[in-house]
Structure 1
């Protein structure tokens, strides 16, 4: 093997190594971005609760605001970090329940917005003051109240005000002004 061939092989190995390192760094950056996005969404959920007023009569325990998630680890477990936080003098309690078992919830985070899950949620929530939130596309068009979405790398949200009012909830005018779209 000549020196030129040896240098060429070394150069090729160096380029392959550099490309591999760059690819791994990009995957790590995307993973960090995904984790940060889930943290931001969980913070949004907390703020949605802070800007919502429930009627005096709620089905949940006094002194608590119950946040139900329809799967075990919504938002990669970031909703669990809201446990014990204070919202309007109420302590947040995070529980995991299927959509058909949410009657004793003040807030429901829906991870899967498929037709069966939404139908079960709508039956369980009918006539109850329950704030429904999801990050699934089309959620508010199918009766949900707040739909989070990613727009140009930033978390945004739409609101179905008619659904919130029908449930007896009052959403702050400040929250409504921040929404990209409000369905009356």
Structure 2
């Protein structure tokens, strides 16, 4: 189901303040975009990185639950790990995460080669990413445009992971990603797949959803799983 426009969800004063803060941040980002055509991609990706950073403040559940300090090997200030998958048009924008925090939790950035960079001597792309275990330990996984041809195998391999997947790739929601960034009228916008978020056990606050250009409520990853279980058919 594709949903556009406003969301009639109750919003507390605290969430309204958070929404206003995010809106102000994004508004500043919108103003910065008209000059993009005359500058390097660093500026565009600094803005997109700012969106990703702000998303972290509006997502709950999954890996975003603060660890209980009483648990062994657990720390309430454990870092939030942001994985970057593929070849980023600008690396510096993501490196700047290292100086930021969400609450008391610092951010760490991990870089992963895209599937296209892992082509074997036989010319074949691996069906499973060799760093999948490390990728699964990320809180957020950002898909670079270089991964456009590999969305289906990559997202399917993460179907049981509570990771916030964020893409900069056309068709990202339709492949099962949670949030996708795109340019519209020289502005950075975002769209959300609610069903994919639910599969990842994530809750996205309504104050963020109201700012989305589009929301959809269909998870193709679960559809593919159901078809595989039924022998490749959509019918039992």
User: Normalised by the shorter chain, which TM-score bucket?
Assistant: 0.7 to 0.9
1:57 is displaced (CA, Å) by 8.0
Structure 1 position 166 matched with structure 2 position 199: yes
Inter-CA distance 29–147: structure 2 relative to 1 (3 Å threshold): closer
Choose the corresponding residue for 1:88, options 98, 103, 108. Answer: 103
Rounded to whole Å, the distance in 1 between the matches of 2:163 and 2:214 is 20
**1:179 aligns to 2:212 (yes or no):** yes
Give the distance between the partners of 2:105 and 2:42, measured in 1 at CA.
27
Tell me which of 137, 143, 153 is aligned to 1:119: 153
1:23 maps to which residue?
A: none
Distance 1:109 1:29, change over 3 A: closer
Paired with 1:177 and 1:77, the residues of 2 have a C-alpha distance of 30
Report the Cα offset of residue 72 of structure 1.
5.4
Q: What's the CA shift for 1:126?
A: 2.1
Greater relative contact order (CA < 8 Å, ≥ 6 in sequence) = 2
Is 1:32 paired with 2:47? no
User: 5+ unaligned residues in a row in structure 2: which ranges?
Assistant: 1-34, 68-73, 115-128, 218-236
Q: 1:131-142 maps to which residues of 2 (within 5 A)?
A: 131-142=164-175
* Structure 1 residue 79, shift from structure 2 partner: 1.1
Of residues 158-167 and 108-117 in structure 1, the stretch that sits farther from structure 2 once superposed is 108-117
Asked if 1:79 is matched to 2:121, the reply is no
- CA deviation vs aligned residue, 1:144-170 (integer Å, no higher than 9, x gap): 111101000000010001101110011
| Shift, 1:97, TM fit | 2.0
User: TM-score, normalising length from structure 1?
Assistant: 0.74
Query: In 2, distance between residues paired with 1:54 and 1:74?
Result: 30
Structure-2 change in CA distance of 1:94 and 1:29 (3 Å): closer
What corresponds to 1:69 in structure 2? 84
Match of 1:52 in 2: 59
Give, in whole Å, the separation in 2 of the partners of 1:29 and 1:73: 17
Q: Is the contact between residue 53 and residue 171 of structure 1 (CA under 8 Å) also seen in structure 2? A: yes
SS of residue paired to 2:53: helix
Please list every run of 5 or more consecutive structure 1 residues that lacks an aligned counterpart in the other structure: 1-27
**What is the CA–CA distance in structure 2 between the aligned matches of 1:151 and 1:116, rounded to whole Å?**
24
Q: Distance in 1 between matches of 2:174 and 2:36?
A: 33
Distance in 2, matches of 1:37 and 1:52, equals: 23
Deviation at 1:45, TM superposition (A): 0.8
Give the CA deviation at 1:117: 4.5
SS of match in other structure, 2:45: helix
